[in-house]
Amino acid sequence: MNKIKDYLSLIKLSLSIMVVFSSVISFLLAPGSDAYIDIWKMILLLFVSGMLVTGSANAINQVVEKDTDARMKRTSSRPIAAGRMSVTEGWAFAIISGALGVWMMGFFFNWLTAGLAAFSLFLYAFIYTPLKKINSIAVLAGAIPGALPCLIGWAAGNNDLALGGWILFAFQFFWQFPHFWAIAWVAHKDYSSVGFKLLPAEEGPTKFTAIQTIAYSLLLVPVTIAPYFTGMCTYDDMKGKISVVLIILANVFMVSRCVNLYRKMDVGSARKVMFGSYMYLPVILLAMLLSKI
């Protein structure tokens, strides 16, 4: 049982589920997914393969950062950092799960999907992870693999990189900035103690950082409305109208939390942005899906 808990910690279970959730919803939003006869089987296959690839990326992240994880309170209990799991075991799990996940996407869906998954894994594990100690541009680098699950899901359904997939990619790309900067604000002491440079201002939590969260939350407004003007979603019926209202309310909620951070400039407000962003993401994606089903 303890070994199972360690593996769940190694793949960062809750984070992986959130990532794969966005991929599955993007798959369902792709028009081509309607052609699959056994849709629930395909959802399960995408979920499992997505968890394998995401789990692999998170495992590599913990192998590479084992020393810094051991020095931070919030990560010191991770299995490799705490010494309950060897680096060799972590690498073995990452290689096997990553290869299996990419293969499953190629075999059961298409090789465009598999290629995007492999690219996302590489960016997260070998570009974003080491950049965290070099420059805050790491957040930008990390936002790309963080948003690719939406494009992966779309490609799994449509086998293309059409406009709808890029809109979903842009949504999750912009969402990550207020989300991650809020996390970096809350954990600033921990991060700075090990040399992570994740906030846009070198001085740490500043008005500039708060303004950036507002700017990116405002960018989310046109991106989340765009599907209704491109034909990906519809507002012609009652479900469509409800979905538009939900998206507008969710955007007002997100922007207001970021504005509140600018006004108060404290950890409590940053924590509200962080938890608010966790709620905002599934609400937007499910609202889009509501307009289609």
Quick: pLDDT tens for 172-192: 999 999 999 999 999 888 888
Alpha helix segments (H runs only) across the chain: 2-10, 13-29, 39-64, 66-71, 87-108, 111-123, 129-131, 138-158, 163-186, 188-193, 207-225, 227-230, 238-264, 267-290
Domain boundary pick from 161, 184, 207: 161
Please give the pLDDT value at position 193. 81
> Of 146, 161, 176, at which residue does a domain stop?
161
Domain of residue 29, residue span? 1-161
Residue in the block written with tokens 């089987």 = 41
Residues 75 and 188 grouped into a single domain: no
Nearest Cα neighbor of 96 from 52, 64, 49 is 52
149 and 202 both lie in a single domain: no
Do 89 and 224 fall into the same domain?
Answer: no
Among residues 144, 161, 178, the one where a domain terminates is: 161
**Are 259 and 181 members of one domain?**
yes
What gap in Å lies between CA 57 and CA 51, rounded to an integer? Answer: 10
Q: What is the mean pLDDT of residues 25-32?
A: 95
Q: Which of 194, 191, 119, 109 is nearest to 156 (CA)?
A: 109
Say which amino acid occupies 169. F
pLDDT in tens, 238-256: 888 999 999 999 999 999 9
Task: Report the domain count for the chain.
Answer: 2
CA nearest to 258, candidates 205, 194, 212: 212
Q: What is the model's pTM?
A: 0.94
Same domain, 203 and 213: yes
CB 265 within 8 A of CB 210: yes
The pLDDT tens digits for 57-114 are: 999 999 998 989 888 888 889 999 998 999 999 999 999 999 999 999 999 999 999 9
- The more confidently predicted of residues 201 and 86 is 86
Residues 117 and 144 in one domain: yes
Q: Is residue 208 within 8 Å of residue 200, measured between CB atoms? A: yes
